[in-house]
Amino acid sequence: MTKLSVNINKIATLRNSRGGNTPNVVTFAKDVQRFGAQGVTIHPRPDERHIRYQDARDLKPEVYTEYNIEGNPVKSFLDLVLAVKPTQVTLVPDAEDAITSNAGWDTIKHKDFLTEVITEFKQNNIRTSIFVDPNLKDIEGAKATGTDRIELYTEAFAHQYGLGNKNAIKPYTECAILANQLNLGINAGHDLSLDNIQFFKENIPDLLEVSIGHALVAESLYLGVENVIQMYLHKLK
């Protein structure tokens, strides 16, 4: 079964919009695990506009499943991850002003930088993953960095699938086949939802983990958090 990691950034966004500590991100993380999610994901940014660096520290003792911290490996992020020591760190090439992640790494151009960062994390027993576009050259480049996994950036698939274009899955399937041949673990995320997750999972061989936040939280407003998590788990079997 593919694991479901729930990205809780949107809960922090809601909290920050009002001030105070409601909704509580730690409580929400505990609840999604209790409801069956196999991981919790956060993506702190330098301006802390949603998840704060202190949230990452506060969550550490409460995440008993897999703890995944995503972000651009600037110094403050590196220091945070090395202090918290999550299960997994996912490297994402975000610009500081990006509303959300919008591109994967050019793993060939940034090979030396990624290799240096990944080496340090692995020396601290932190599993590493690189956020990549569905390009075969970037999968090969990821292998050369020493990363444990890749995370396929799925926005293009989700958009095209929503238009009825199921052929949009093809480059992702090809990349997954290559990643498996290279002994790279496969994660995926961005704009995956209850509408497209089952089709995506069925066409990605050995998909280990998906990270879902925005859609899951939005769907939960209508259907309830526990119910939505059970629906995802059913589709990921």
CA distances from 31 to 18, 35, 55 (A): 21, 6, 16
Report the catalytic residues.
43, 70, 190
Beta-ladder partners of 5: 39, 211
Residue type at 135? N
Question: What whole-number distance in Å separates Cα of residue 29 and Cα of residue 11?
Answer: 10
Question: What whole-number distance in Å separates Cα of residue 73 and Cα of residue 121?
Answer: 11
